[in-house]
Amino acid sequence: MDAEKLEQFRQLLQEEMKALLSEADKTVQEMGDDASHFPDPTDRATQESDRTFELRIRDRERKLANKVREALERIDDGSYGICEDCGGEISEARLKARPVTTQCIDCKIEAEEKEKRL
């Protein structure tokens, strides 16, 4: 995949990460404000963002955020867009629809078929 396209996917993934983090913020607000445990505002900001990410974000979002983070790492290490099962290229259309995917459509279908047979 060329660098320009990789940048597009990086932006897509970063947008998704932002959306997840703003969801996480909402969760934090819903869970009540115990940020007063950290009276120093700088301290509080740091603590709050760590805790938001590590502890408070809802499970589904945390899993997705991890996938997004892994996808961003794959962009950095050059393995993005390559199927982890067959080593083939994942189609751009598929990546656009699901930028965190690690399988090409053929392997995905095969995996789903296998699951059905079990």
Quick one: 21 or 105, whose CB is closer to Zn ion?
105
Residue 104 assigned as binding residue = yes
Query: Could you give the count of Cα atoms lying within 13 Å of 13 in the half-sphere of its Cβ?
Result: 25
Least separation in angstroms between residue 66's CB and Zn ion is 21
Least separation in angstroms between residue 105's CB and Zn ion is 8
Q: Is the dihedral of CA 17, 19, 22, 23 positive or negative?
A: negative
- Footprint on this chain of Zn ion (rule: CB under 5 A): 83, 85-86, 88, 104, 107
Least separation in angstroms between residue 90's CB and Zn ion is 7
Residue 31 assigned as binding residue = no
Token pair for 73: 């790492």
Burial of 10 (0-12, 13-18, 19+ CB in 10 A): middle
Least separation in angstroms between residue 67's CB and Zn ion is 17
Instruction: Kindly provide the b/e burial profile for residues 36-62, where b requires at least 16 CB atoms within 10 angstroms of the residue's own CB.
Output: eeeeeeeeeeeebeebebeebbeeebb
Quick one: 6 or 105, whose CB is closer to Zn ion?
105
Question: Which positions make up the binding site for Zn(2+)?
Answer: 83, 86, 104, 107
Question: Which positions make up the binding site?
Answer: 83, 86, 104, 107
